[in-house]
């Protein structure tokens, strides 16, 4: 019995010593991780930390279509060099700026959207949709399609857009509620535009 009491006392003393040592060494007791101020980060980490790439503020100006009050709204953005199909899709995925959000401008694309430019064949831009698109409600999905079609139709080489999913052409819905199995044009989403049916310029 005495041996058990001594063992228990020894264990308690050991735990107390550990608690005192960790407290004295400045080890945080909080259960959640805490962000270190930049001034306290090791210099080696700071030297090798990747630098974020800022959005282009100069270069080639291109029209990007976002939403205002559930209608398409043309906004201007910059891309580095001559715009490509993938660059336009990437810029669309970035979404409105903080200032634009403050003015009520939004987007139907989700933050996880990953649109893929497959190519342009005989004036048809082939765009791969991802799972994020199929998580949208029907009205929001139509708005996203309208944003994509109007944005990529600014390319001189693009006359229409054919959508793919999992490597295969996929049916999409137009603004009128019709389901289309082939390529669509901006005219299929004209009533979603805040300016009526803007010309694609082609």
First to last CA, the chain: 95
pLDDT at 17: 38
Count other Cβ atoms within 10 Å, centred on residue 63.
16
From residue 118, alpha-carbon distances to 23, 67, 122, 151 in Å are 58, 25, 13, 16
pLDDT at 197: 54
- Residue 84: both structure tokens together: 């490509």
Q: Is 189 helix (H, G, I), strand (E, B) or coil?
A: helix
From residue 200, alpha-carbon distances to 73, 84, 159, 188 in Å are 14, 16, 9, 12
* Ranges of each domain in the chain: 60-192
Model pTM? 0.68
Q: Are 55 and 94 in contact (CB under 8 A)?
A: yes
As a whole number of angstroms, the distance between CA 118 and CA 161 comes to 11
Phi–psi pair at 169, nearest 5 degrees: -55, 140
As a whole number of angstroms, the distance between CA 23 and CA 26 comes to 5
List the alpha helices (DSSP H) in the chain: 2-24, 43-48, 85-94, 98-102, 131-134, 138-152
pLDDT at 8: 45
Local mean pLDDT, 10-residue blocks, the chain (202 residues): 43 41 44 50 42 55 91 90 92 94 93 92 96 91 94 94 95 92 92 48 35
pLDDT at 41: 47
């Amino acid at each position: 019995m005495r041996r058990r009491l001594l063992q228990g006392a020894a264990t308690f003393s050991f735990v107390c010593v550990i608690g005192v040592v960790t407290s004295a060494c400045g080890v945080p007791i909080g259960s959640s991780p805490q962000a270190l101020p930049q001034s306290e980060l090791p210099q080696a980490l700071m030297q090798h930390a990747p630098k974020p790439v800022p959005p282009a503020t100069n270069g080639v100006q291109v029209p990007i279509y976002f939403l205002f009050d559930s209608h398409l709204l043309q906004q201007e953005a910059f891309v580095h060099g001559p715009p490509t199909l993938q660059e336009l899709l990437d810029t669309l995925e970035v979404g409105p700026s903080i200032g634009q959000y403050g003015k009520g401008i939004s987007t139907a694309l989700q933050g996880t959207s990953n649109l893929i430019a497959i190519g342009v064949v005989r004036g048809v831009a082939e765009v791969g949709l991802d799972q994020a698109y199929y998580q949208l409600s029907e009205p929001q999905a139509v708005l996203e399609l309208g944003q994509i079609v109007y944005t990529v139709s600014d390319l001189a080489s693009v006359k229409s857009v054919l959508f793919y999913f999992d490597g295969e052409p996929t049916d999409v819905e137009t603004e009128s509620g019709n389901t289309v199995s082939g390529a669509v044009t901006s005219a299929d989403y004209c009533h979603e535009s805040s300016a009526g049916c803007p010309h694609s310029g082609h």
